[in-house]
Protein backbone atom coordinates (compact mmCIF):
# COMPACT_ATOMS: atom_id res chain seq x y z
CA UNK A 1 0.00 0.00 0.00
CA UNK A 2 1.28 3.46 -0.97
CA UNK A 3 0.30 6.62 0.93
CA UNK A 4 1.38 10.03 -0.42
CA UNK A 5 0.89 13.39 1.27
CA UNK A 6 1.79 16.74 -0.33
CA UNK A 7 3.25 19.57 1.76
CA UNK A 8 3.27 23.03 0.20
CA UNK A 9 6.02 25.52 0.99
CA UNK A 10 5.48 27.97 3.86
CA UNK A 11 7.12 31.40 3.91
CA UNK A 12 8.70 32.75 7.12
CA UNK A 13 6.12 35.52 7.63
CA UNK A 14 3.32 32.97 7.61
CA UNK A 15 5.23 30.61 9.88
CA UNK A 16 5.44 33.35 12.53
CA UNK A 17 1.66 33.10 13.00
CA UNK A 18 1.54 29.33 13.60
CA UNK A 19 0.56 27.76 16.88
CA UNK A 20 1.90 24.32 17.83
CA UNK A 21 -0.75 22.40 15.89
CA UNK A 22 -0.16 24.32 12.65
CA UNK A 23 3.60 24.14 13.04
CA UNK A 24 3.42 20.35 13.32
CA UNK A 25 0.93 20.06 10.47
CA UNK A 26 3.34 21.73 8.05
CA UNK A 27 6.80 20.75 9.31
CA UNK A 28 6.51 17.62 11.46
CA UNK A 29 7.48 14.26 9.92
CA UNK A 30 5.81 11.40 11.76
CA UNK A 31 3.94 8.12 11.29
CA UNK A 32 5.93 7.26 8.16
CA UNK A 33 6.96 3.77 9.30
CA UNK A 34 3.72 1.82 8.98
CA UNK A 35 3.88 -1.97 8.94
CA UNK A 36 3.29 -3.34 5.43
CA UNK A 37 3.08 0.11 3.82
CA UNK A 38 5.06 2.79 1.99
CA UNK A 39 4.35 6.31 3.25
CA UNK A 40 5.73 9.37 1.45
CA UNK A 41 5.63 13.13 1.99
CA UNK A 42 6.10 15.04 -1.27
CA UNK A 43 7.34 18.48 -0.28
CA UNK A 44 7.58 21.73 -2.22
CA UNK A 45 10.93 22.44 -0.54
CA UNK A 46 13.27 21.71 -3.46
CA UNK A 47 10.73 18.98 -4.40
CA UNK A 48 12.27 16.69 -1.80
CA UNK A 49 10.44 13.48 -0.89
CA UNK A 50 10.78 11.93 2.58
CA UNK A 51 9.12 8.73 3.66
CA UNK A 52 9.31 5.22 5.00
CA UNK A 53 8.77 1.62 3.93
CA UNK A 54 8.24 -1.31 6.30
CA UNK A 55 7.91 -4.60 4.36
CA UNK A 56 7.02 -6.66 7.47
CA UNK A 57 7.66 -9.96 5.69
CA UNK A 58 6.25 -9.12 2.26
CA UNK A 59 7.50 -7.26 -0.80
CA UNK A 60 6.60 -3.59 -1.14
CA UNK A 61 6.98 -2.03 -4.59
CA UNK A 62 7.49 1.70 -5.12
CA UNK A 63 6.87 2.68 -8.72
CA UNK A 64 4.49 5.46 -9.80
CA UNK A 65 4.19 8.42 -7.41
CA UNK A 66 1.53 10.70 -8.89
CA UNK A 67 2.94 14.09 -7.72
CA UNK A 68 6.20 13.31 -9.56
CA UNK A 69 4.36 13.30 -12.89
CA UNK A 70 6.35 10.39 -14.35
CA UNK A 71 5.47 6.72 -14.96
CA UNK A 72 8.02 5.61 -12.34
CA UNK A 73 9.44 7.51 -9.37
CA UNK A 74 13.08 7.40 -10.52
CA UNK A 75 12.47 8.43 -14.13
CA UNK A 76 13.64 11.97 -13.29
CA UNK A 77 14.86 11.54 -9.71
CA UNK A 78 17.61 10.15 -7.54
CA UNK A 79 16.97 8.42 -4.22
CA UNK A 80 18.71 7.53 -0.98
CA UNK A 81 17.41 4.72 1.22
CA UNK A 82 18.57 4.24 4.82
CA UNK A 83 17.89 1.04 6.73
CA UNK A 84 17.12 1.84 10.38
CA UNK A 85 15.80 -1.65 11.18
CA UNK A 86 16.86 -5.28 10.88
CA UNK A 87 18.45 -6.84 7.81
CA UNK A 88 16.51 -6.33 4.61
CA UNK A 89 16.91 -5.93 0.88
CA UNK A 90 16.20 -3.26 -1.71
CA UNK A 91 15.93 -4.22 -5.39
CA UNK A 92 16.04 -1.76 -8.28
CA UNK A 93 18.73 -1.92 -10.98
CA UNK A 94 20.27 -4.69 -8.82
CA UNK A 95 19.65 -6.42 -5.50
CA UNK A 96 21.14 -4.67 -2.46
CA UNK A 97 21.21 -6.47 0.93
CA UNK A 98 21.11 -3.80 3.63
CA UNK A 99 21.97 -3.98 7.33
CA UNK A 100 21.10 -1.41 9.95
CA UNK A 101 22.80 1.92 9.22
CA UNK A 102 23.53 1.17 5.56
CA UNK A 103 22.64 3.78 2.95
CA UNK A 104 21.80 3.03 -0.69
CA UNK A 105 22.03 5.62 -3.46
CA UNK A 106 19.88 4.92 -6.53
CA UNK A 107 20.58 6.97 -9.63
CA UNK A 108 18.03 8.38 -12.04
CA UNK A 109 16.49 5.63 -14.16
CA UNK A 110 17.23 2.79 -11.72
CA UNK A 111 13.64 1.56 -12.14
CA UNK A 112 10.95 0.62 -9.68
CA UNK A 113 12.11 -0.02 -6.12
CA UNK A 114 11.20 -3.15 -4.15
CA UNK A 115 11.63 -3.39 -0.37
CA UNK A 116 11.76 -6.75 1.42
CA UNK A 117 12.96 -8.46 4.58
CA UNK A 118 13.04 -7.11 8.12
CA UNK A 119 14.24 -3.60 7.35
CA UNK A 120 12.69 -0.28 8.26
CA UNK A 121 13.62 1.88 5.30
CA UNK A 122 13.85 5.67 5.40
CA UNK A 123 13.35 7.10 1.90
CA UNK A 124 14.73 10.38 0.54
CA UNK A 125 14.49 11.63 -3.04
CA UNK A 126 15.12 14.76 -5.10
CA UNK A 127 14.96 15.66 -8.80
CA UNK A 128 18.00 14.69 -10.88
CA UNK A 129 19.50 16.08 -14.09
CA UNK A 130 21.69 13.08 -15.02
CA UNK A 131 22.37 9.51 -13.98
CA UNK A 132 25.09 8.63 -11.49
CA UNK A 133 25.86 4.99 -10.62
CA UNK A 134 23.85 3.39 -7.84
CA UNK A 135 25.94 2.54 -4.79
CA UNK A 136 25.49 0.79 -1.45
CA UNK A 137 27.46 2.63 1.22
CA UNK A 138 28.36 0.98 4.52
CA UNK A 139 29.15 3.10 7.57
CA UNK A 140 32.85 2.13 7.22
CA UNK A 141 32.81 3.73 3.75
CA UNK A 142 31.47 7.06 5.04
CA UNK A 143 33.67 10.10 5.55
CA UNK A 144 33.75 11.12 9.21
CA UNK A 145 34.08 14.47 10.97
CA UNK A 146 34.34 14.80 14.77
CA UNK A 147 32.92 18.01 16.20
CA UNK A 148 31.99 19.57 19.53
CA UNK A 149 33.06 18.64 23.04
CA UNK A 150 31.75 17.08 26.21
CA UNK A 151 32.07 20.45 27.95
CA UNK A 152 29.49 22.01 25.62
CA UNK A 153 27.27 18.89 25.52
CA UNK A 154 27.63 18.56 21.74
CA UNK A 155 30.36 15.97 21.19
CA UNK A 156 29.36 14.18 17.99
CA UNK A 157 30.57 12.31 14.92
CA UNK A 158 29.23 13.22 11.49
CA UNK A 159 29.10 10.37 8.95
CA UNK A 160 28.91 11.65 5.38
CA UNK A 161 27.48 9.00 3.04
CA UNK A 162 26.04 10.60 -0.11
CA UNK A 163 28.42 13.52 -0.07
CA UNK A 164 31.04 15.03 -2.44
CA UNK A 165 33.85 13.58 -0.29
CA UNK A 166 32.46 10.07 -0.86
CA UNK A 167 30.57 9.96 -4.17
CA UNK A 168 28.77 12.04 -6.77
CA UNK A 169 25.08 12.83 -6.81
CA UNK A 170 23.01 15.44 -8.63
CA UNK A 171 21.79 17.45 -5.65
CA UNK A 172 20.90 15.20 -2.74
CA UNK A 173 23.34 15.04 0.18
CA UNK A 174 22.69 12.63 3.05
CA UNK A 175 24.51 11.71 6.23
CA UNK A 176 24.12 10.63 9.82
CA UNK A 177 25.24 12.28 13.06
CA UNK A 178 25.77 10.28 16.26
CA UNK A 179 25.98 12.12 19.56
CA UNK A 180 28.39 10.87 22.20
CA UNK A 181 27.00 9.67 25.52
CA UNK A 182 26.11 12.68 27.66
CA UNK A 183 25.82 15.07 24.71
CA UNK A 184 22.42 16.43 23.75
CA UNK A 185 22.93 19.36 21.33
CA UNK A 186 23.22 19.12 17.58
CA UNK A 187 24.26 21.96 15.27
CA UNK A 188 24.73 24.65 17.89
CA UNK A 189 25.63 27.44 17.30
CA UNK A 190 22.92 27.34 14.66
CA UNK A 191 23.17 28.19 10.98
CA UNK A 192 21.01 28.57 7.88
CA UNK A 193 21.70 27.78 4.24
CA UNK A 194 19.51 29.70 1.84
CA UNK A 195 20.56 27.61 -1.18
CA UNK A 196 19.08 24.31 0.03
CA UNK A 197 16.40 22.85 2.25
CA UNK A 198 16.90 20.02 4.72
CA UNK A 199 15.07 17.17 6.41
CA UNK A 200 15.90 15.61 9.80
CA UNK A 201 14.97 12.19 11.21
CA UNK A 202 15.75 11.37 14.83
CA UNK A 203 16.49 7.75 15.78
CA UNK A 204 18.04 5.70 18.61
CA UNK A 205 15.87 7.40 21.24
CA UNK A 206 14.36 5.36 24.11
CA UNK A 207 10.56 5.30 24.23
CA UNK A 208 10.35 7.98 26.92
CA UNK A 209 13.03 10.27 25.41
CA UNK A 210 12.33 13.39 23.34
CA UNK A 211 14.19 15.88 21.16
CA UNK A 212 13.30 19.57 21.15
CA UNK A 213 13.83 20.44 17.47
CA UNK A 214 14.54 24.14 16.94
CA UNK A 215 13.40 25.94 13.79
CA UNK A 216 12.23 29.29 12.52
CA UNK A 217 14.11 32.43 11.53
CA UNK A 218 17.06 33.20 13.81
CA UNK A 219 15.23 36.06 15.51
CA UNK A 220 11.85 34.29 15.56
CA UNK A 221 12.55 30.72 16.70
CA UNK A 222 10.02 27.95 17.28
CA UNK A 223 10.31 24.35 18.42
CA UNK A 224 8.66 20.96 18.01
CA UNK A 225 8.89 18.08 20.49
CA UNK A 226 9.78 14.86 18.65
CA UNK A 227 10.09 11.22 19.64
CA UNK A 228 11.96 8.28 18.12
CA UNK A 229 11.61 7.89 14.34
CA UNK A 230 10.09 11.34 13.95
CA UNK A 231 11.62 14.29 12.17
CA UNK A 232 11.20 17.73 10.68
CA UNK A 233 11.20 19.56 7.37
CA UNK A 234 13.55 22.53 7.48
CA UNK A 235 13.05 25.27 4.86
CA UNK A 236 16.06 27.20 3.60
CA UNK A 237 15.15 30.24 5.74
CA UNK A 238 15.01 28.25 8.96
CA UNK A 239 17.61 27.30 11.52
CA UNK A 240 17.73 23.60 12.37
CA UNK A 241 19.09 22.51 15.67
CA UNK A 242 17.96 20.37 18.54
CA UNK A 243 18.47 19.31 22.14
CA UNK A 244 17.47 15.93 23.51
CA UNK A 245 16.70 14.50 26.91
CA UNK A 246 19.67 12.21 26.23
CA UNK A 247 21.99 11.32 23.36
CA UNK A 248 20.57 10.22 20.01
CA UNK A 249 21.32 9.82 16.31
CA UNK A 250 19.83 11.83 13.48
CA UNK A 251 19.79 11.46 9.71
CA UNK A 252 20.08 14.68 7.73
CA UNK A 253 19.32 15.18 4.06
CA UNK A 254 19.69 18.27 1.90
CA UNK A 255 18.63 19.21 -1.61
CA UNK A 256 19.04 22.43 -3.55
CA UNK A 257 21.56 24.47 -5.50
CA UNK A 258 24.76 23.66 -3.62
CA UNK A 259 26.13 20.31 -2.36
CA UNK A 260 28.99 21.94 -0.41
CA UNK A 261 28.36 20.87 3.20
CA UNK A 262 30.21 23.95 4.52
CA UNK A 263 28.14 26.42 2.51
CA UNK A 264 26.30 27.88 5.50
CA UNK A 265 25.62 31.20 7.16
CA UNK A 266 26.42 30.98 10.86
CA UNK A 267 24.02 32.55 13.36
CA UNK A 268 25.52 34.27 16.38
CA UNK A 269 24.10 33.50 19.81
CA UNK A 270 23.28 37.22 20.16
CA UNK A 271 20.97 36.98 17.13
CA UNK A 272 18.86 34.09 18.39
CA UNK A 273 15.50 35.00 19.87
Q: What is the CATH number of the domain that holds 11?
A: 2.60.120.10
* CA–CA gap between residue 101 and residue 120 (Å, rounded): 10
My answer on whether 93 and 34 are in the same domain is yes
Annotated binding site: 191, 193, 198, 240
Mean pLDDT of 56-76: 97
My answer on whether 165 and 256 are in the same domain is yes
- Confidence class for position 261, pLDDT limits 50, 70, 90: low
- Is residue 271, in this structure, part of any structural domain at all? no
What is the domain count for the chain? 2
| 180 DSSP assignment | P
pLDDT at 161 over 90: yes
pLDDT at position 228 is: 98
pLDDT at 192 over 70: yes
pLDDT at position 255 is: 95
Annotated binding site for Zn(2+): 191, 193, 198, 240
- Is residue 50, in this structure, part of any structural domain at all? yes
pLDDT at position 191 is: 81
My answer on whether 194 and 92 are in the same domain is no
My answer on whether 183 and 200 are in the same domain is yes
- The terminus-to-terminus CA distance of the chain in angstroms comes to 43
- Torsion of Cα atoms, 79 then 84 then 86 then 91, to 10°: 0
Domain boundary among 137, 166, 198: 137
pLDDT at 244 over 80: yes
What residue numbers bound the domain in which 210 lies?
Answer: 140-266
My answer on whether 129 and 196 are in the same domain is no
**The pTM is what?**
0.96
Q: Are 113 and 73 in contact (CB under 8 A)?
A: yes
My answer on whether 132 and 148 are in the same domain is no
pLDDT at 13 over 80: yes
| Alpha-helical runs (H) found in the chain | 12-15, 20-27
- Is residue 272, in this structure, part of any structural domain at all? no
- Confidence class for position 88, pLDDT limits 50, 70, 90: very high
My answer on whether 155 and 67 are in the same domain is no
| Backbone φ, ψ for residue 243 (5° rounding) | -135, 135
Amino acid sequence: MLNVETRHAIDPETAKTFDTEKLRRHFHVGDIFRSGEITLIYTHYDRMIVGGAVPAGKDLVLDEVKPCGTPSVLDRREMVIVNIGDDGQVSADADYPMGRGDMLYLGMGAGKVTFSGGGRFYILSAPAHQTYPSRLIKIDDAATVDLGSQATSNERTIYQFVHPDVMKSCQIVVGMTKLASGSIWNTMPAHVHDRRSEAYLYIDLPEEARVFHMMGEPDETRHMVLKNEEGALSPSWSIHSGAGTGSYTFIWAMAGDNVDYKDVEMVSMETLR
